[in-house]
């Protein structure tokens, strides 16, 4: 049974009246936790896509790029997206439920926010209502303002990333600690580590831009802080 079939079954249960909390309770451990993560990305993304008042073809296509849907799963994936749009639950319910599921795994929550930024930028524009939506979800996830702005800078062209924020350090942080922070970020973004955290293989591509941003931040700070 493919992940898309399992996702469709879970969303069907929601549309038939089963509570989101009950459905996610069954999906809280690997490998089924990857189903919950994917549901959260799709459901939040489907709801966010309407935040600016219009769901564009580009935003729908972004799901295909994020999840790299195999041709044999296209019909099932389309069903998942349509079910997510029909679900009456508000985005706050999804965000709150997924925040509890991954409350000890902030990196996974940040990956989900990255997915929302990716979808928001799929049509080439970043609408203020989309920013409000993602910021609200990030707040529910417990993501700090500093981290939110750092993540946004990776996707929104007019948002300049701050190298210190990307690595989670400050100008006063010793150089060796900056190096440790960089290595930890790279380690946490490794595909094997992401799969172990319960992310589906289809969502691993979300980490690509993050790794690029982390390495660029390290290059910037290493040149600035490296001992002579």
Q: What is the pLDDT of residues 50-61, one digit of tens each?
A: 666 555 566 666
Asked if the model's pLDDT at residue 175 lies above 80, the reply is yes
Tally of structural domains, the chain:
1
The full DSSP string for 83-94 is HHHH--S-HHHH
Asked if the model's pLDDT at residue 184 lies above 80, the reply is yes
Q: How confident is the model at residue 107 (pLDDT cuts 50, 70, 90)?
A: confident
Q: How far apart are CA 114 and CA 206, in angstroms?
A: 7
Q: How far apart are CA 103 and CA 28, in angstroms?
A: 12
Q: How confident is the model at residue 223 (pLDDT cuts 50, 70, 90)?
A: confident
In the prediction, which pLDDT does 126 show?
81
In the prediction, which pLDDT does 12 show?
73
- Residue 51: phi and psi, rounded to 5, are -65, -35
In the prediction, which pLDDT does 163 show?
85
In the prediction, which pLDDT does 136 show?
93
| Tokens found for residue 149 | 């702005």
Region 191-216: mean pLDDT is 68
- Residue 67: phi and psi, rounded to 5, are -100, -5
Asked if the model's pLDDT at residue 83 lies above 70, the reply is no
Q: Mind spelling out the 3-state secondary structure of the chain?
A: CCHHHHHHHHHHHHHCCCCHHHHHHCCCCCCCHHHHHHHHHHHHHHHHCCCCCCCCHHHHHHHHHHHCCCHHHHHHHHHHHHHHHHCCCCHHHHHHHHHHHCCCCHHHHHHHHHHHHHHHHHHCCCCHHHHHHHHHHHHHHCCCHHHHHHHHHCCCCCCCCCHHHHHCCCCCCCHHHHHHHHHHHHHHCCHHHHHHCCCCHHHHHHHHHHHHHHHHHHHHHHHHHCCC
| Tokens found for residue 131 | 């920013």
Q: How far apart are CA 30 and CA 200, in angstroms?
A: 10
Asked if the model's pLDDT at residue 135 lies above 90, the reply is yes
Contacts 24+ apart (CB under 8 A), 180-183: 182/214, 182/215, 182/217, 182/218, 182/221
- Residue 90: phi and psi, rounded to 5, are -70, 160
In the prediction, which pLDDT does 137 show?
93
Domain span holding position 97: 3-225
Asked if the model's pLDDT at residue 203 lies above 60, the reply is no
């Amino acid at each position: 049974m493919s992940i898309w079939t399992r996702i469709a079954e879970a969303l069907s249960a929601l549309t038939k009246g089963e509570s989101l909390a009950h459905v996610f309770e069954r999906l809280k451990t690997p490998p089924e936790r990857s189903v919950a993560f994917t549901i959260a990305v799709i459901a939040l993304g489907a709801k966010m896509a309407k935040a600016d008042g219009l769901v564009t073809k580009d935003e729908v296509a972004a799901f295909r790029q994020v999840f790299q849907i195999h041709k044999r799963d296209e019909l099932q994936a389309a069903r998942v997206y349509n079910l997510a749009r029909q679900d009456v639950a508000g985005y706050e319910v999804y965000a709150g439920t997924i925040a509890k599921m991954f409350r000890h795994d902030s990196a996974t929550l940040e990956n989900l926010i990255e997915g929302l930024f990716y979808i928001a930028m799929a049509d080439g524009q970043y609408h203020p209502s989309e920013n409000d939506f993602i910021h609200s979800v990030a707040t529910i996830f417990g993501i700090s303002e500093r981290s939110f702005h750092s993540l946004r800078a990776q996707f929104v062209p007019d948002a300049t990333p701050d190298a210190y924020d990307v690595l989670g350090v400050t100008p006063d942080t010793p150089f060796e600690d900056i190096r440790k922070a960089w290595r930890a970020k790279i380690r946490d973004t490794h595909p094997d580590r992401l799969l172990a955290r319960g992310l589906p293989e289809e969502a691993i591509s979300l980490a690509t831009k993050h790794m690029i941003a982390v390495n660029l931040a390290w290059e910037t700070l290493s040149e600035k802080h490296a001992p002579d």
